[in-house]
C-alpha cells in the first residue's frame, strides 16, 4: 500500500497555521491537490482528510467499531462532562437509545409552540428596526432567538429570565473559548491549557457558574409546577429499558450543557446563512415569501404546514450545502483502517468535511452557485452518491437534533420571508469562516422592510 500523499507543513506546527487561518479553505485545497485521502500534520497530530463519498460512507457505517471521539474530545469531556456527543462504545449506545425517543420528528413537534413564542418576542425588535430603516445583525439576533428556544425546550415554557441569564452568559463564554482550548490541545499536547492563563480562568469560572446554576435547577425540579415536556423532565424520568438505570443529576447536567453547545449556535448560524442567500438573491426571497403566503394564510406555521413548504425546504438544503455549520467531522481510528487502498494507522485523526464534499466538482454542477433547484425531484441531474450531502453527519452518530433544527429553520425562514424584505447593507463581502461552526464573516447585516 502506498504512503498517503499530503503537504509537509512547517516544522513542529505542521499545517496548523493554515488550519487556524482558514480550515475549510485548507481542506478544499487538500482535496483538490491530493484526491480522495490526504494526510497532514496539525501540531503533534497526524490527520487524514477523506473526500470520497464511498469512503465517507464506509467510515460512517463502521464508525463506532473502527473510530472513536478521540483524545481531544476526551479532554473536552473531562472539562465539560460526558454528554452523548463525546461518549464512545457501549456507554454512547445506551445513552443514544435513552435520548432518541425525545428527538424523533413527531416528538419534537411538541416544541413548535416554543419556536412560535420566541418568534413573537423577537418580531417587535425587527419591526422597530424596519420602521427606522436601521440595519440588523442577523447572526446576533438569531443567536438570541435560538437561545430563547433552547432554554425553553430544556427547562420548560415558564422558566424565568433571571434563572437562565447566568446560564446563557456562561454558555456564551464556553462557546467563545472552546475552539482555542481545542487548538491548544493539538500544540504541546494541551500543556498550555493547564497554565493559569486569563482565558483558561474565564473558561473555568464560566463552567463553575454553569454547574452551580444547573445543579440548582435540577435539584429544585420537584418544587412547584413543572413543565413535563421540558427536556430536563424527560432526562430525569428516562430509564434504561434493560437495566432500569436512570441518569444521575450530574449526567443530566452534562447533557443539558451539551445540548446548548450542539444545538444553539449551529441552528442560528444555519439560519443566518439562509438570510444571507435570500438577501443576495432576492428572487428566491420572493419565492419563499409567496410559498408562505399560499400555504400559511397569515398564521404561524403548524406542523402540518411545515411539510408543505417544499421550496423553503430546498432553499434551506441548498444553504446547508454551500455553508454547512458543521463543516468538519473528526474521529480517531481505534484500529488500523484500509480506505480505498490507503492504510490509515490506528490512533490517527480522520476528518470528513461536509463543506468539501458539498462543493466537490465531480458531484455538483457549478458547485459554488446557490441553486435550490438542485434539490427538486424534477432536477435533471443524475442521482448523486449518498455521502455527497450530509449536513447532519451520517451513520449511527448522525445528528440527534436534526428534526428539531429543521423544524426551527423551516418555521422561522418562512415567517421572516413572509413578513420582511431583506436589503443589502454596503460592506465587506461575506465569507465563510471556520470556528466551532462555519460562521458568515463579518456577519449578516441587513436592512429589513415590512412587506
Ligand atoms: C442546523 C443545525 C445543526 C447542524 C448542522 C448539526 C450538525 C450535526 C452533525 C454534523 C453531527 C454529527 C457530529 C459527528 O458525527 O461527530 C451532530 C451531532 C449531534 N447533534 Fe447536531 N446539528 C444541528 C442541530 C442540533 C440540535 C438543535 C441539537 C439538539 C438540541 C443537536 C444535537 C446533536 C447531538 C446530541 C449530536 C451528537 C450525536 C451522537 O454523537 O450520537 N444538533 N450534529
Which atom of ligand 1 approaches the CA of 405 most closely?
Answer: 27
Which atom of ligand 1 approaches the CA of 99 most closely?
Answer: 35
What does the pLDDT look like over 216-253, one tens digit per residue?
A: 888 876 555 578 889 999 999 999 888 888 999 999 99
**pLDDT grade for 63, boundaries at 50, 70 and 90:** confident
Single pTM value for the model = 0.94
Cβ-Cβ contacts under 8 Å for 333 (sequence gap 6 or more) = 66, 67, 344, 345, 346, 347, 348, 350
- pLDDT for the residue numbered 66: 85
For residues 402 and 262, what is the distance between their CA atoms, to the nearest angstrom?
11
Is the CB of 295 inside a 6 Å radius of any atom of ligand 1? Answer: no
Mean confidence (pLDDT) of the chain: 91
Distance 263 CA to ligand 1 centre (A): 7
Q: How far apart, in Å, do the first and last CA atoms of the chain sit?
A: 62
Which atom of ligand 1 approaches the CA of 87 most closely?
Answer: 40
Report the percent of the chain where pLDDT is more than 90.
67
For residues 352 and 344, what is the distance between their CA atoms, to the nearest angstrom?
14
Phi/psi of residue 391, each to 5°?
-60, -20
The CATH number that domain 1-81+327-390 falls under is 1.10.630.10
Phi/psi of residue 341, each to 5°?
90, -5
Which atom of ligand 1 approaches the CA of 95 most closely?
Answer: 41
Distance 446 CA to ligand 1 centre (A): 28
Is the CB of 81 inside a 6 Å radius of any atom of ligand 1? Answer: no
Is the confidence at residue 71, as pLDDT, over 70? no
Alpha carbon nearest to ligand 1 atom 11, residue: 399
Distance 392 CA to ligand 1 centre (A): 6
In three-state secondary structure terms, 95 is helix
DSSP assignment letter at 52: -
Question: How much of the chain is helix, strand and coil, in % rounded to 5?
Answer: 60, 10, 30
For residues 96 and 289, what is the distance between their CA atoms, to the nearest angstrom?
38
Within the chain, all domains assigned CATH 1.10.630.10 are found at 1-81+327-390, 99-158+225-323+394-451
- pLDDT for the residue numbered 80: 76
- pLDDT for the residue numbered 187: 63
Q: Which of 205, 410, 219, 392 is nearest to 304 (CA)?
A: 410
- pLDDT for the residue numbered 222: 57
What does the pLDDT look like over 94-122, one tens digit per residue?
A: 999 999 999 999 999 999 999 999 999 99
What does the pLDDT look like over 161-210, one tens digit per residue?
A: 777 888 888 888 888 887 777 767 666 666 667 777 787 888 889 889 98
- pLDDT for the residue numbered 157: 87
* Overall average pLDDT of the 259-268 stretch: 92
Beta-bridged to residue 246, according to DSSP, are 239
Name the fold adopted by 99-158+225-323+394-451.
Cytochrome p450 (1.10.630)
Is the confidence at residue 445, as pLDDT, over 60? yes
**pLDDT grade for 33, boundaries at 50, 70 and 90:** very high
Q: Do residues 407 and 109 lie in contact, with contact meaning Cβ atoms separated by under 8 Å?
A: yes
Distance 2 CA to ligand 1 centre (A): 35
Beta-bridged to residue 331, according to DSSP, are 350
- pLDDT for the residue numbered 228: 82
What does the pLDDT look like over 133-166, one tens digit per residue?
A: 999 999 999 999 999 999 999 998 888 877 788 8
Alpha carbon nearest to ligand 1 atom 14, residue: 329
Which atom of ligand 1 approaches the CA of 259 most closely?
Answer: 30
Distance 144 CA to ligand 1 centre (A): 19
Is the CB of 394 inside a 6 Å radius of any atom of ligand 1? Answer: no
Which atom of ligand 1 approaches the CA of 92 most closely?
Answer: 41
Amino acid at each position: 500500500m502506498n504512503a498517503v500523499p499530503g503537504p509537509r507543513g512547517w516544522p513542529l506546527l505542521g499545517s496548523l497555521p493554515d488550519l487556524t487561518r482558514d480550515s475549510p479553505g485548507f481542506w478544499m485545497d487538500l482535496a483538490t491537490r491530493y484526491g480522495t485521502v490526504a494526510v497532514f500534520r496539525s501540531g503533534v497530530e497526524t490527520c487524514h482528510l477523506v473526500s470520497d463519498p464511498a469512503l465517507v460512507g464506509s467510515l460512517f457505517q463502521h464508525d463506532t467499531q473502527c473510530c472513536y471521539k478521540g483524545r481531544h474530545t476526551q479532554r473536552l469531556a473531562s472539562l465539560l462532562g460526558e454528554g452523548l456527543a463525546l461518549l464512545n462504545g457501549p456507554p454512547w449506545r445506551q445513552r443514544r437509545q435513552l435520548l432518541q425517543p425525545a428527538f424523533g420528528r413527531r416528538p419534537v413537534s411538541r416544541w413548535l409552540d416554543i419556536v412560535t413564542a420566541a418568534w413573537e418576542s423577537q418580531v417587535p425588535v425587527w419591526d422597530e428596526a424596519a420602521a427606522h430603516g436601521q440595519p440588523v445583525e442577523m447572526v446576533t439576533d438569531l443567536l438570541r432567538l435560538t437561545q430563547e428556544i433552547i432554554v425553553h425546550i430544556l427547562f420548560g415554557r415558564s422558566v424565568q429570565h433571571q434563572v437562565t441569564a447566568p446560564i446563557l452568559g456562561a454558555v456564551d463564554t464556553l462557546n467563545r473559548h472552546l475552539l482555542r482550548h481545542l487548538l491548544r490541545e493539538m500544540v504541546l499536547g494541551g500543556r498550555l491549557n493547564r497554565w493559569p492563563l486569563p482565558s483558561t480562568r474565564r473558561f473555568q469560572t464560566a463552567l463553575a457558574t454553569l454547574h452551580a446554576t444547573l445543579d440548582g435547577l435540577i435539584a429544585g425540579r420537584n418544587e412547584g409546577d413543572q413543565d413535563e415536556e421540558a427536556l430536563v423532565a424527560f432526562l430525569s424520568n428516562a430509564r434504561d429499558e434493560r437495566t432500569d438505570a436512570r441518569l444521575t443529576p450530574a449526567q443530566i447536567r452534562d447533557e443539558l450543557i451539551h445540548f446548548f453547545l450542539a444545538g444553539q449556535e449551529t441552528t442560528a448560524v444555519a439560519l443566518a446563512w439562509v438570510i444571507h442567500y435570500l438577501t443576495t438573491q432576492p428572487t428566491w426571497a420572493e419565492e419563499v415569501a409567496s410559498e408562505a403566503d399560499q400555504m400559511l394564510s397569515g398564521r404561524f406555521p403548524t406542523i402540518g404546514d411545515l411539510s408543505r413548504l417544499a421550496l423553503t425546504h430546498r432553499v434551506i438544503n441548498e444553504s446547508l450545502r454551500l455553508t454547512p455549520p458543521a463543516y468538519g467531522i473528526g474521529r480517531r481510528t481505534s484500529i488500523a483502517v484500509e480506505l480505498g487502498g490507503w492504510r490509515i494507522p490506528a490512533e490517527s485523526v480522520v476528518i470528513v468535511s461536509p463543506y468539501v464534499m458539498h462543493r466537490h466538482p465531480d458531484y455538483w454542477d457549478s458547485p459554488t452557485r446557490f441553486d435550490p433547484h438542485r434539490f427538486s425531484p424534477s432536477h435533471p441531474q443524475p442521482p448523486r452518491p449518498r455521502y455527497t450531502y450530509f449536513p447532519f453527519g451520517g451513520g449511527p452518530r448522525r445528528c440527534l437534533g436534526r428534526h428539531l433544527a429543521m423544524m426551527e429553520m423551516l418555521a422561522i425562514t418562512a415567517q421572516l420571508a413572509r413578513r420582511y424584505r431583506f436589503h443589502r447593507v454596503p460592506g465587506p463581502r461575506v465569507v465563510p469562516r471556520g470556528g466551532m461552526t462555519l460562521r458568515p464573516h463579518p456577519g449578516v447585516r441587513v436592512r429589513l422592510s415590512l412587506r
